[in-house]
């Protein structure tokens, strides 16, 4: 099993030294105002049916067996076309450079709640970190994070702090800001990793069913950046998910969402249920998390139909927060298929 920050091939150590002197706490977001959405949002769905090596059992996503080289290529195919670059390594690096912009620190918010089998793959995160470094971000300025370090370890991440490498730890290491960030129905303390180590935030969720919210993808992954997510589950998490994503501290930082749908879950979430997961072998990428969630939701619905299950709508647990996030009040992105340009590669 590969471990993040362990492989010298990734040059985490070597490349990190240059930025080591600049280590420390970044004051606040250096990226300014939240971006406004274009008329249409592009969502790239990249698939590779041969993502898993011959050893991987097709019916068991838990034993990932993912070919890391193919996964890196798949990530390039997802991210490069998003910005109009060719899906080559060079094109991908240019795309990542666009994502990072003038940001000095970049963080990758993974989702490890489901544990190994239904968490953001370590291999995917390593692939993203490699491209980020190629795009000019020093290793120690990259932080891979989630709410809790133990959960991250259970999902296969190796905790790493200090030194010249990519940082990898949970908010439990640094805590939450004392002050409350509030918008609409939401009032929360934000992870200091978000506020102090994330000029740019990359959202790396998974694709899965959620008994209360319908689905949990990019927007809901932000529940992992606040101190009180338990407060926001009533009413199918609506409007809480949308309100949370309105917080300037999140909105201004989140530049890209790449959903790890190498394995996905169409029922029984959010906890990992192997019997309801399938090797989807896909990555979804978008700058607009609402559009990404909408596309991901439809993929889950199609799988449910294929498996003979009722739609989430019929089960009265459609993710209504997605439409809320797109409404006039929030305007976080597009949830209307007419305004989503779906690129399938």
Partner 1 sequence: MNREFLPAEDETRSAFDRRSFVKCALASGAALSARGFTAPALAADGQTANGAQFTLEARFYQKLDNRKIKCKLCPRECVVGDKERGYCGVRENRGGVYFTLVHSRVCAAHIDPIEKKPLFHYLPGTMAFSIATAGCNVNCKFCQNWDISQSRPEEIPAEYLAPHQAAAVARQYNCPTIAYTYSEPVVFAEYAMDTADAAHAAGVRSVVVSNGYMQHDSLVAAYGRMDAVKIDLKAFSESYYAKVVTGQLKPVLESLVTLRKMGKWTEIVYLVVPTLNDDDAELRGLAAWIKANLGPDVPLHFTQFHPEYLLKNLPITPVPTLERARQIAMAEGLHYVYIGNVPGHPAQNTYCPQCGKMLVERVGFTARQVLIRKNSTCPFCGHRIAGIWRA
Which residues in the 1-30 window bind partner 1 by CB under 8 A?
none
Nearer to partner 1, 143 or 191 (CB): 191
Question: Is 234 among the residues that bind partner 1 (CB under 8 A)?
Answer: yes
CA–CA dist 70, 187 (Å, integer): 42
Q: What are phi and psi of 262, to 5 degrees?
A: -60, -40
Six token digits for residue 134: 């190629």
Rounded distance, CA 107 to CA 102, Å? 14
| Beta carbon nearer to partner 1, 113 or 207 | 113
Q: CA–CA distance from 224 to each of 65, 171, 204, 205, 220 (Å)?
A: 27, 9, 12, 10, 8
C-beta neighbour count of 171 within 10 angstroms: 22
Of 138-146, 201-209, 230-238, 254-262, the window that binds partner 1 (rule: CB under 8 A) is 230-238
- Among residues 158, 173, 227, 331, which is the contact residue for partner 1, using CB under 8 A? 227
Q: What is the DSSP track for 181-229?
A: EEETTEEEPBBHHHHHS-SEEEEE-EEEEETTTEEESTTGGGGGGBS-G
Site for partner 1 in 44-63 (CB under 8 A): none
Instruction: Examine residue 228 and tell whether it contacts partner 1 (CB under 8 A).
Output: yes
Looking only at residues 89 through 128 of this chain, which bind partner 1 when binding is defined by CB under 8 A? 113, 115
What minimum distance in Å lies between the beta carbon of 231 and partner 1? 5
Rg (CA), the chain: 18
Among 180, 305, 307, 314, binds partner 1 (CB under 8 A): 180
Decide: is 274 part of the binding site for partner 1 (CB under 8 A).
no
Q: Are 85 and 76 in contact (CB under 8 A)?
A: no
Which residue lies nearer to partner 1 by CB, 151 or 293?
A: 151
Helix (H) / strand (E) element for 210: namely strand 206-210
Q: Pick from 53, 175, 305, 310 the residue near partner 1 by CB under 8 A.
A: 175
Nearer to partner 1, 182 or 305 (CB): 182
What string marks each residue from 134 to 173 as x (binds partner 1 by CB under 8 A) or -?
--------------------------------------x-
What is the maximum alpha-carbon separation in the chain?
Answer: 57
The alpha carbon of 147 is separated from its chain's Cα centroid by a whole number of angstroms, namely: 13
* Contact positions vs partner 1 (CB under 8 A): 113, 115, 172, 175-176, 180, 182, 187, 211, 227-228, 230-231, 233-234, 268, 270-271
């Amino acid at each position: 099993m590969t471990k993040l920050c362990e492989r010298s091939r990734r040059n985490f150590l070597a490349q990190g030294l240059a930025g080591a002197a600049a280590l420390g706490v970044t004051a606040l977001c250096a990226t300014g105002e939240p971006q406004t959405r274009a008329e249409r949002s592009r969502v790239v769905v990249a698939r590779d049916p041969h993502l898993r090596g011959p050893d991987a059992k097709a019916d068991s996503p838990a034993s990932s067996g993912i070919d890391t080289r193919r996964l890196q290529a798949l990530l390039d195919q997802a991210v490069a076309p998003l910005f109009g670059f060719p899906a080559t390594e060079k094109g991908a690096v240019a795309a990542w450079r666009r994502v990072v912009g003038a940001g000095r620190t970049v963080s990758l918010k993974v989702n490890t709640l489901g544990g190994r089998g239904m968490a953001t793959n370590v291999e995917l995160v390593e692939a993203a970190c490699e491209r980020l470094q190629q795009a000019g971000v020093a290793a120690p300025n990259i932080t891979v994070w989630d709410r809790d370090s133990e959960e991250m370890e259970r999902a296969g991440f190796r905790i790493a702090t200090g030194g010249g490498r990519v940082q990898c730890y949970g908010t439990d290491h640094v805590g939450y800001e004392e002050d409350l960030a509030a918008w609409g129905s939401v009032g929360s303390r934000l992870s200091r990793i978000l506020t102090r180590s994330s000029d740019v935030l990359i959202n790396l969720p998974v694709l899965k069913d959620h008994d209360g919210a319908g689905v949990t993808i990019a927007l809901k992954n932000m529940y992992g950046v606040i101190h009180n997510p338990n407060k926001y589950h009533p009413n199918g998490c609506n409007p809480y998910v949308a309100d949370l994503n309105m917080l300037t501290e999140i909105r201004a930082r989140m530049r890209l969402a790449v959903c790890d749908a190498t394995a996905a879950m169409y029922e029984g979430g959010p906890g990992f249920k192997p019997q309801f997961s399938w090797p989807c072998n896909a990555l979804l990428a978008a700058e607009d998390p609402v559009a990404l969630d909408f596309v991901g939701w439809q993929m889950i619905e199609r799988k449910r139909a294929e498996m003979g299950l009722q739609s989430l709508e019929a089960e009265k647990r459609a993710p209504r927060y997605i439409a809320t996030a797109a409404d006039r009040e929030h305007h976080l992105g597009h949830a209307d298929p007419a305004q989503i340009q779906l690129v399938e590669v």
